[in-house]
Chains A and B, each alone.
Chain A
Amino acid sequence: MISANLPILHVIIPLIGAPLGLLFSRSPTGAWLLALIISWFTLADSLALLLIVSGGEVVSYEIGDWAAPWGIEYRVDMLAAYVIVIVSGIGAVTMLYARQSVEAEIPRDRIYLFYTMYLLTLSGLLGIATTGDTFNLFVFLEISSLSTYVMVSLGAERRALTAAFRYLVLGTLGATFYVIGVGLMYQMTGTLNMADLVNRLPEVAETRTILAAVAFLTVGIGLKLGLFPVHVWLPNAYTYAPSVVTAFLAATATKVAVYVLVRIYYTLFKGGVFETLPVDEILLALSLVAIVAMSAVAIFQTNVKRLLAYSSVAQIGYMLIGISLVTITGLTAGILHLFNHALMKGALFLALGCVFFRIRSVNVDDMAGLGKAMPWTMAAFVTGGLSLIGIPLTVGFVSKWYLILASLEKEWWPLAAVILFSSLLAVIYMWRVIEVAYFRERPAGAATIGEAPLAMLVPMWVLVGANVYFGIDTDLTVGTARAAATFLMGG
């Protein structure tokens, strides 16, 4: 019974958990425990799914026993399972970390609301990656987005409200564009099922309606994933959201949106979209600007969370560069960076959560002397930073290696040079924080502070450890990413 329903359990268990939490576990600890158990259950479920599909098999599940393409089909292939594992894995680790951080940052009477919203977001993000139906994807996109806006607005500062509202306006715009794109495709093909669309789209691929659909889908999903220059919601949302929310969102929400873009280009249109519309060139150009300009903007930030938020926009640029190269190596690099960036940004934002837990600020200047006061937290931050820069033996290096390999394969030397240059910019903005934390003394008279509690340090170091482990043993990540890329390119 369990095994046959694997493709749906990880979506409906958090969906059921959300109202249950609202009804029965009003106490912060109870709500946390429920969210924790459900998160680990979804991780177990997704790992089982990954095991099943790793042989190249595609798992299909027909909801309500209605046969596709009439009913809603859930379809898990290698890429979907890989993204599902990223989301549920990050969810499981951040929930382990969340209890004390959330109690310190969110008013006590709203904590159960936070966990309810978290479970809805989890369900939505996992649903997006699982479903094989373009309209059902829109529904999950809305479930995850609406609950995300609420989570962002729970931030301690009042500015969290405006950040959430701006995210709401732009996010809704993105979702609307997506659904217009789906509507245009439906108009030409009469189907919403992805597997069915694959067969029907080639006939009409040249029509103006489908070209408009591609444009709407690209802009809509671009808004969701923080594509430069429509990323403007992202820095504020990441800065003012509670630490746990930032860590979870930075590591999952934008990744899932990138996944949707890959699905549209490579599954629905089988890469043929690049012949009818120059979306690959547009994405490449925008991403190049993103990785340089956004890294440069990050250098001048005083709030470290905002600094990392701009860095996220730049990092999303790396993924899009990989995707827009339209080669197996390029796609491998893009898909690989989904996972690797989730690990590094997850670790970095969790480290910032520990910093905020102790000093109630994440401004660069307030972090003076933290290298001595919070050695484990800052060591985690440094390791995450090294990974972000792309130092060998970390996951960041593996991503950049494959990205540069892909650009050299195409003999695009300038592209490789720009990627290296933007890595140097990452050195600068990470160094600013590290310098203050290690080489400046804590101001005289400042309260003495200790290390963050063990319950926060352990999950953070799990992610840091994963940064190093997957930087050395790349078989699993690169193997899965390459298999997924080969499958998508039809090889």
Chain B
Amino acid sequence: MNRHSILRVVAKLMIPYILLFALYVQFHGDFGPGGGFQAGVIFAAAFILYALIFGIENGRKVMPAWVNRILLAGGVLLYSFVGVAGIFLGSEFLDYNVLGPTPVAGQHYGILLVELGVGLTVSSTMIAIFYVFAGQDI
């Protein structure tokens, strides 16, 4: 890919904005369209683009396998711990009302954390799938 300077420059220009847009979709998900799943896919797209343009080895340096695995499991854990927190605070599984001082604040924290968990797992799963198909182990 060394010869394709246009691709390299454009990719370098775009990747920060892709990541920023992913974060926007992630954290704006409870006000407008968006959410963890879409954000996760967009976030992963930035890493996949980087690996496509600059090579798998460089991509691996940016997102090592062990970090990816921690994010992959961590997202699911974050989601389920938010659910279990509901139980420990004396209500039902995934009841957000009890998470904050008022039910509205609780719903807000709850959905934010749960969507963050979804985003983490989805993006690291997308990256893992890409690397598996690119011939690397997860």
Name A's B-contacting residues (CB within 8 A).
1, 5, 8, 12, 15-16, 18-20, 22-23, 61-65
Contact = CB atoms under 8 A, between A and B. Distances in A.
Contact of A63 (B84, B90, B93): B93
Interface residues of B, number: 22
A23 B97 contact: no
Nearest to B69: A22
Nearest to A116: B73
Interface stretch (B4-12, B21-29, B41-49, B75-83): B75-83
Interface string B73-108: 110110011011011101111111100000000000
B70 interface: yes
Contacts of B93: 5, 8, 12, 61, 63-64
A23 B74 contact: yes
Contacts of B88: 1
A18 B76 CA distance: 9
A65 B92 contact: yes
A20 B76 CA distance: 9
13 contacts: A1-B87, A1-B90, A12-B80, A15-B76, A16-B84, A18-B76, A19-B73, A22-B69, A22-B72, A23-B73, A64-B93, A65-B95, A65-B97
Most chain B CB neighbours (cut-off 10 Å) among A1, A22, A65: A65
B73 A64 contact: no
Given A5-B93, A64-B92, A12 B73 contact: no
A1 B80 CA distance: 17
Contacts of A65: 91-92, 95, 97
Contacts of B84: 12, 16
B96 A19 contact: no
A199 to B, nearest CB: 24
B77 A61 contact: no
B92 A62 contact: yes
B124 to A, nearest CB: 11
A64 B98 CA distance: 10
Given A5-B93, A19-B73, A22-B69, A64 B86 contact: yes
Nearest to B98: A65
A20 B94 contact: no
B119 to A, nearest CB: 15
Given A8-B92, A23-B77, 12 more contacts: A5-B87, A8-B93, A12-B84, A12-B93, A15-B80, A18-B76, A20-B73, A61-B92, A63-B92, A64-B93, A64-B96, A65-B91
Given A5-B87, A64-B92, A20 B97 contact: no
